[in-house]
Structure 1
Amino acid sequence: MNFKKLAPLAVALMLAGCAVGPDYVAPTSNLDTEYLFQGVDGTEVGEANQHLVNAWWKQFNDPILNQLVVDAQNQAIPLKVAAQRIRMAESYQSAIESFKVPTVSVGAGFGNLQLSENDPLLGGAITALNPLTGEDLGLVEDNNSAFFAGATIGWEVDLFGRIDRQANAASIRKEQMEIMREGLTTLITSDVIHNYLQMRGAQARHAIALKTVEDQAKTLELVKLTVKSGYGSALDEARARAALAATKAVIPQLNIAENVHKQRLAILLGETPKQSQHRFATSMPLPSFTGVIPTGLPSDLLNRRPDIRIAEREMAALNEESAAAIAAQYPKVFLTGAPGVLAKDFDDLFNGDSIAWAGSIGVSWNVFDGGRGDAIVEMQQSRFDASVLSYQQSVITAFGEVETLLNGYGQSQQYVTLVSEAATATSFAVNKAKSLYKAGLTDHLSILDAQRQQNIVQDQVIAAKLQTANMTIALHKALGGNWDVVTKTAD
């Protein structure tokens, strides 16, 4: 083997580490050591149980809800689309990385070449005769054929790291797709929990309305007896009928709300309404969250929030793409080779004398492009600078959301406590008003007013619980974290 012929290749390999372009440095942020509303009721700083952090909805203690989350994460069509996008990103990464290694193609075949005797260059050689004997000299045959087999090898030596930077950017883009799927899982899971709780809330309000209708119907009968005996008035009866009709009018609206949330759940589950109707055949009480929310430290948001992580990865990807644009302005070195065998007869094709090969090394460099290369570099730098600002905005937005929801979560729990106390008081007022009315010590208006207040406050209790539940969902979402369910069945 002639090692001198390999010298250019060796030099190229030694120079392959001359990468150009900026190295990526992860951003740093000046963060507060604690939240402004840290320590509100129902929260704690630590994250002692990571399982509860990731599968926090299990603290609603509702097996149906747990199973809905599992099924949604396995069946939701948007998540399946996201999985395909990850596969696309993986394929793109593989395609880019393939340029790092030589491209080898093989081929074989048969060729035939017929030369013209009238060819101005070779025609004379074909028809040349021996001047002494007059015989054909056979300098060039007019008909030539041969069998061949061989390979073609091409390789761009990545001297300045252009291909390597592009491959790094593709790898980061794949990471972004994975984080996006994680974020989409969070959005779909939170939507499932929200719609499930809203559906149970509509069912609870429906039950309250039915109970109120029953009580008001009994009150109406009592008023009728009172009017019949001469102690009541037609006005009392009219008011009782009006109150009963008004409460009955609420029931269709609650049925609409319950059905809307059922259909939304079916969509999230990737099912038709008929396929999912068995899941909600039985009305269940509105579940209550029984745990505490571990907020962690403000610095935890940088690694937990999908939007912040995507923004950081965008900076990293654009840094690599910017470096690739810089490297593209430097020379490109190509190595090519074509080893093979060539013979006129197929039987001779694989003899040692039939070996043939060709090799070359070349350099390509755009020494003038009208400023196009510099413009592309500047464009990539501007994209990177914009991504830095976007990252800063994502961090600020995340902290604002957490602070807002921490305060809202604490206030909503106080609201539940206060309206629950009001509900107890209104129930006592209704019972007292009925007793006084039976004894003839008050008119029917007192009963109607007490029942109206009771109906309003009981509805407020459900609304307060739903508000707290929504705050619970929103706060967990704002704090981030991986919500993927590992098991296929609910606990």
Structure 2
Amino acid sequence: MTFYTSRKLAPIALAMLLTGCAVGPDYQAPMVSIAESYLNTEAAERASNDLWWRQLNDDTLNALINDVQQQNVSLKVAAERIKMANQYQTMVASFKVPTVSVGAGYYNYQISKNDSLAGPLVSPIAIPPVTPQLPSNVTLMDNQHDGGYIGASVAWELDLFGRIDRHADAAQIRVEQAEIMTSGLNTLLTADLIHNYLQYRGAQARKALAQANIEDQRKTRQLIKKVVKSGYGSQLDYAQATAALAATEALIPQLEIAEQAHKHRIALLLNEPLTQVDIRLAQQEKLPTLNGIIPTGLPSDLLKRRPDIRVAEREMAAINEELAASIANRYPKFFLTGTPGVSASSFDDLFSRDSLGWAGAVGVNWNVFDGGRGKAAVKINEARLQSAALQYEYTVNAAIAEVDSSLFAYGRSQETQKQIDEALTATDLAVSKAKSLYKAGLIDHLSVLDAQRQQRMIQDSQLAARLQTANITIAVYKALGGDWQILPPPSEQKAMPTTNSNRTSETLVSL
């Protein structure tokens, strides 16, 4: 009868083994429908937007970015999180292999003679004497025992339905997510440093212009004062000159506050004392100018470049594996256990053949009824997967909208910059004409100083426009994504989602 039963169960076990790998859904990369180009772009030549800040040709800025990517505390914390994620993946994957533990020890114990079960075995029992040499009282076993043992314990779950494999795959995807989020954090911190550096240089340049303008306004007020004393001027002109001077002087403290704020932020990003940052920033005071083009690429490129999109896609993949694991968890679990070892009362006999002993078992555990708990876990993961898919779609749409919005702002800032440049050209001409007329004796020096004051004001507006353009440029590059890490760690290329667009060319917006 036993032989018949085992032959009946063998095909069933074999069928379960062969179909086990089919449990749970296989992950399919999301398909998204997106436009083939951005709304606000102009054609330009091809270029790379990785390490784009090098177009500024500012050695100080390049050194700061290199150091912030190595020294920033938040990036170091993110690196530790990657290590934790890797170790968690190793821990989860370890359940796929047998767990082996070994042990050894010495034991000594005594059985109570009053024990209800073993007591009679160690208590003297009276027997009729057979010969005078034999005792009349004997015990069936000694009540004291000692000895040593060396053994091992082996346990292994046969992952027939891929439950452990799926959990291990999900943990590996979490590692990828940690790496992507670290890359995104690197981008944010690098952009933050560039922004604060440019604003610091801009505040310096505007302060220098304000100081020059203050000097001109003081000369203008002095001339007006002389004219008023001579009886050819009015107190109104003098009051207006004084007010204009005071307004310009009021700009200096504000610009100094801006200098300090941006400098402190740079020090915090670098994790360096402020004195060290002062030394770094003293090496150059010129506001750098970005020359080149912004490569926008195609909207489909965002799927591979934007960290938020990549994290959202990996979230779908991880939840898909967790869904498959929850499905596999409803199937039977098979276990193999064994405990081989040696045990003897004497150390000399410990490694003899007769001291060998073992125990082995094959088991199965199947929750045939759990009140719907297993099915509910599957439904929860299905809902999580659907939610992650919707979040992925929203993230893609939001990314494209962000790029379009930043490109539109960039275009308008370029128009503003052009108009201010034209205004500055006109004021430069006015100053030149005023100086020529003054040399010819046709106008007084007050008119020259007034033209120079207007020139300084337009120059300040030009600096402000350049800083605004710089901010928008940083926003464009952040929106486009990409790898901003100067020394990227070696890693394998990850599979990314596919789209309905097969185009590989790039559309660029000119600076």
Q: Distance in 1 between matches of 2:36 and 2:75?
A: 35
Q: Structure 2 CA distance, aligned partners of 1:84 and 1:12?
A: 44
Q: State how 1:58-77 maps to structure 2 within 5 Å.
A: 58-77=54-73
> Could you tell me which residue of structure 2 aligns to residue 407 of structure 1?
408
* Deviation for aligned residue 1:151: 0.5
Amino acid at match of 2:37: E
Among residues 119, 124, 128, which one is paired with 2:125 in the alignment?
Answer: 128
| TM-fit CA distance, 1:25 | 0.4
- The equivalent residue for 2:30 is 27
Measured in 2, the distance between the counterparts of 1:100 and 1:453 equals: 77
Gaps of 5+ in 1: none
Counterpart residue number, 2:162: 161
The residue aligned with 1:236 is 237
In the TM superposition, residue 231 of structure 1 has moved relative to its aligned partner by 2.9
Deviation string for 1:159-194 (max 9, x for gaps)?
Answer: 211111100000000100000000000000000001
Residue type of the partner of 1:218?
K
Say if 2:208 is the partner of 1:207.
yes
Letter in 2 for 1:233: S
Q: How far off its partner does 1:440 sit?
A: 7.0
| 8 A contact 1:408–1:471 mirrored in 2 | yes
Q: Distance in 1 between matches of 2:170 and 2:78?
A: 19
Instruction: Say if 1:16 and 1:157, in contact at 8 Å, map to a contact too.
Output: no
Q: What is the deviation of 1:343?
A: 0.6
Matched residues in 2 for 1:12 and 1:285: separation? 76
Contact 1:433 1:442 in 2 (8 A): no
Q: Distance in 2 between matches of 1:441 and 1:55?
A: 53
2: CA distance, partners of 1:122 / 1:246: 104
Which residues of 2 match residues 62-461 of structure 1 at below 5 A?
Answer: 62-126=58-122, 127-133=124-130, 134-282=135-283, 284-430=285-431, 432=433, 439=441, 450=451, 453-461=454-462
Return closer, same or farther for 1:16/1:405 CA change in 2, 3 Å cut-off: same
Alignment TM-score, normalising by the size of structure 2: 0.87
The residue that corresponds to 2:507 in the other structure is none
Q: Is the 8 A contact 1:16 1:160 kept in 2?
A: no
Letter in 2 for 1:77: V
Distance across 2 between alignment mates of 1:273 and 1:468? 28
User: Cα distance, 1:325 vs. partner?
Assistant: 1.0
Q: For residues 418 and 149 of structure 1, what CA distance do their matches in structure 2 show? A: 89
Would you say the 8 A contact 1:151–1:340 is kept in 2? yes
Deviations 1:359-396 (A, max 9, x none): 01111111211111111111111111100000000100
Does the CA-based 8 Å contact 2:60-2:283 persist in structure 1? no
Counterpart CA distance in 1 for 2:62 and 2:116 is: 87
CA contact (8 A) 2:431 2:452 kept: yes
Tell me the CA shift for residue 123 of structure 1. Answer: 2.6
State the shift of 1:278 in Å.
0.9
For the residues of structure 1 that align with 2:279 and 2:444, how far apart are their CA atoms?
A: 49
Contact preservation (8 Å) 1:111, 1:145: yes
Q: Which moved more, 1:232-241 or 1:285-294?
A: 232-241
CA deviation profile, 1:66-92 (whole Å, cap 9, x unmatched):
011001000110000000100110111
Please tell me whether the aligned partners of residues 151 and 339 of structure 2 are also in contact (alpha carbons under 8 angstroms). Answer: yes
**Contact preservation (8 Å) 2:221, 2:242:** yes
Q: Aligned equivalents of 1:208 and 1:164: distance in 2?
A: 66
Q: In the alignment, is the contact (CA less than 8 A) between 1:59 and 1:289 conserved in 2?
A: yes
- Provide the secondary structure at the position in 2 that maps to 1:30: coil
Q: How far apart are the structure 2 equivalents of 1:307 and 1:321?
A: 21
Instruction: Write the distance in 2 (CA, Å) between the matches of 1:368 and 1:388.
Output: 32
Greater displacement, 347-356 / 55-64? 347-356
5+ residue gaps in structure 2? 1-5, 490-511
Structure 2: distance between partners of 1:316 and 1:345: 58
Q: Are the counterparts in 2 of residues 339 and 358 from structure 1 also a CA contact under 8 Å?
A: yes
1:15 to 14, 17, 20: 17
Per-residue CA deviation, residues 332-378 of structure 1 (Å, 9 max, x unaligned), is 11111001111110111111221111101111111211111111111
* Partner SS for 1:18: helix
Does the CA contact (< 8 Å) of 1:205 and 1:459 recur in 2?
Answer: yes
Deviation string for 1:270-294 (max 9, x for gaps)?
A: 1222332211225512111111112
User: Residue 104 of structure 1: SS of its match in structure 2?
Assistant: strand
CA shift in 2, pair 1:205/1:421, >3 Å: same
- Rounded to whole Å, the distance in 2 between the matches of 1:242 and 1:121 is 109
Contact 1:240 1:448 in 2 (8 A): no
2: distance between equivalents of 1:452 and 1:484?
Answer: 44
Q: RMSD in angstroms over aligned alpha carbons?
A: 2.5
**In the aligned structure 2, how far is the partner of 1:16 from the partner of 1:340?**
34
Q: CA deviation at 1:237?
A: 2.6
**Alignment-mate amino acid for residue 419 of structure 2:** L
Structure 1 residues 435 and 247, CA, compared in 2 at 3 Å: closer, same or farther? farther
In 2, distance between residues paired with 1:283 and 1:207? 14
Residue correspondences, number: 473
- Letter of the 1:211 partner, please give it: A
Selected match of 1:36 from 10, 34, 39? 39
Q: Indicate if the aligned counterparts of 1:169 and 1:316 stay in contact, CA closer than 8 A.
A: yes
SS of corresponding position for 2:26? coil
Instruction: State the match for 2:501 in structure 1.
Output: none
Distance 1:290 1:415 in 2: 17
Q: Report the 3-state secondary structure (helix = DSSP H, G, I; strand = E; otherwise coil) of the residue aligned with 1:117.
A: coil
Give the TM-score normalised by structure 1.
0.90
In the alignment, the residues of structure 1 paired with residue 76 and residue 169 of structure 2 have an alpha-carbon distance, to the nearest angstrom, of 26
CA distance in 2, matches of 1:123, 1:441: 130
CA shift at 1:424, angstroms? 2.0
Partners of 1:404 and 1:128 lie apart in 2 by 100
1:53 aligns with: 49
Q: Deviations over 1:113-163 (max 9, x none)?
A: 311223333333332344344544442221122210010111111121111
User: How far is the alpha carbon of 1:94 from its aligned partner?
Assistant: 0.8
| C-alpha distance in 1 between matches for 2:220 and 2:445 | 12
Moved more, 112-121 or 96-105: 112-121
> How far 1:485 moved relative to its partner?
0.7
1:23-79 CA-partner distances (Å, limit 9, x unpaired): 110001112222222326xx54x34xxxx5221100001000101100100011000
The Cα shift of 1:449 comes to: 6.3
Q: Secondary structure at the match of 1:53?
A: coil
